[in-house]
């Protein structure tokens, strides 16, 4: 069969430059020994270099035409081509439960969702590399005080060290995208424990950034609902973009304490109310 005609709705911008494809494939070298899962191999420009690494390589591709192309041109991949939507794929059994490297020249329209999924599977993914829209790469790597610092930056940096590796220009793709691209690497921290309640941490990050202009005191009060027992600590007068990941962890611990105090107060009030009612009876 001939080359695959790029489909816009699948975010297909095929890489033409082999030396850039090789550079992207080489980003997995910092994560030695692990099997590799490539998202969106298209016509295999990156896959061919990943296969040279002497590791187990699986690919997941949604486009049936690209899958047919790969089956015809990459017989050595037989059995390792998964025709599916990466966002729906169950990853637990993929390499018999072994951890793996996630990589790809990702479909830009779903890159944030891909990284949220990586976070859900962080125990299995110690390393994630690849190419995305430059603006998203900058957002992931951003620090406090920057305009692009947000939910994705904090949640990823809480568990991964982020490296912005290099920028890629539009003309090396067919068709050229409207935006520049960038290659990044995310390497999971040695300790997987955050030092706070993970679910509450995620809730606080999302709640505060969804009301970015509000002070933490105001946005967090929606989590505590009525009877906000937050202290007068000036940290609560800050806005979310001013806090580092570590400060968000400390904040989570304070909010958890406040929630426990509130539960104790509510419970105490409840007992007092019940006591008062029974005395009347
Ligand atoms: C930017 S292209 C990259 C193609 C190829 N790796 C290259 O560098 O030329 C993104 C690829 O992801 C595939 N894709 C889009 N959505 C997908 C999804 N949800 N799951 C798996 N693959 C997807 C597209 O069909 C396309 O082949």
- ipTM of this predicted structure: 0.99
Q: Which atom of ligand 1 is nearest to the CA of 21?
A: 8
For the Cβ of 63 lying below 6 angstroms from any atom of ligand 1, the answer is yes
3-state helix, strand, coil in the chain (%, to 5): 50, 15, 35
Indicate if the pLDDT at residue 228 is higher than 60.
no
Q: Tell the residue nearest (CA) to atom 4 of ligand 1.
A: 42
Query: Strand 57-61 and strand 81-83: pairing?
Result: parallel
Summary mean pLDDT of the chain: 91
Q: Which atom of ligand 1 is nearest to the CA of 14?
A: 9
Residues of the chain with CATH 1.10.8.100: 198-280
Rounded average pLDDT over 139-144: 97
Query: Percent of the chain beyond pLDDT 90?
Result: 79
In CATH terms, the superfamily for domain 198-280 is rRNA adenine dimethylase, C-terminal domain (1.10.8.100)
- CATH class as words, domain 8-188: alpha beta
Give the whole-angstrom CA distance, residue 281 versus residue 275: 10
Q: What is the pLDDT of residue 281?
A: 47
Cβ atoms 230, 258 nearer than 8 A? yes
**What are the phi and psi torsion angles at 102 (to 5°)?**
-100, 130
Indicate if the pLDDT at residue 272 is higher than 80.
no
Q: What is the pLDDT of residue 205?
A: 96
Q: What is the pLDDT of residue 221?
A: 80
Indicate if the pLDDT at residue 230 is higher than 90.
no
- Annotation: binding site: 13, 15, 40, 61, 85, 105
Which of 44, 62, 86, 132 is the pocket-test mutation for ligand 1 (most atoms within 8 Å of CB)?
62
Give the whole-angstrom CA distance, residue 172 versus residue 169: 6
Whats the size of the chain, residue-wise? 281
List of long-range contacts for 27-30, beta carbons under 8 Å, 24+ apart: 27/103, 27/129, 27/130, 27/165, 27/183, 27/185, 28/53, 28/101, 28/103, 28/127, 28/129, 29/53, 30/127, 30/129, 30/185, 30/187
Q: Please give the biggest Cα pair distance in the chain.
A: 87
Say how many C-beta atoms besides its own lie within 10 A of residue 158's C-beta: 21
Indicate if the pLDDT at residue 93 is higher than 70.
yes
**What are the phi and psi torsion angles at 230 (to 5°)?**
-65, 140
Whole-structure pTM value = 0.90
């Amino acid at each position: 069969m001939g080359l695959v005609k790029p489909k816009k709705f699948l975010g297909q911008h095929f890489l033409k430059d082999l030396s850039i494809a090789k550079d992207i494939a080489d980003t997995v070298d910092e994560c030695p020994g692990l099997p590799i899962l490539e998202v969106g191999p298209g016509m295999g420009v990156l896959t061919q270099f990943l296969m040279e690494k002497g590791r187990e390589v699986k690919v997941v591709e949604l486009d049936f035409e690209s899958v047919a192309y790969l089956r015809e041109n990459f017989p050595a991949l037989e059995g390792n081509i998964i025709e599916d939507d990466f966002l729906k794929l169950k990853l637990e059994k993929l390499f018999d439960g072994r951890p793996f490297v996630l990589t790809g020249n990702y479909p830009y329209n779903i890159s944030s969702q891909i990284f949220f999924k990586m976070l859900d599977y962080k125990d299995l993914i110690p390393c994630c590399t690849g190419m995305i829209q430059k603006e998203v790469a900058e957002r992931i790597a951003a620090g406090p005080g920057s305009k692009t610092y947000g939910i994705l930056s904090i949640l990823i940096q809480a568990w991964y060290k982020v490296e912005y590796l290099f920028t890629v220009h539009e003309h090396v793709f067919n068709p050229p995208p409207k935006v520049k691209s960038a290659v990044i690497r995310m390497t999971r921290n040695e300790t997987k424990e955050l030092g706070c309640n993970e679910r509450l941490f995620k809730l606080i990050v999302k709640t505060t950034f969804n009301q970015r202009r509000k002070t933490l005191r105001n946005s967090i009060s929606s989590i505590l609902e009525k009877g906000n027992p937050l202290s007068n600590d000036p940290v609560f007068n800050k806005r979310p973009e001013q806090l580092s990941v570590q400060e968000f962890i400390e904040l989570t611990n304070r909010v958890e304490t406040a929630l426990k105090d509130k539960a104790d107060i509510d419970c105490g009030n409840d007992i007092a109310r019940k006591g008062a009612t029974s005395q009347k009876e």
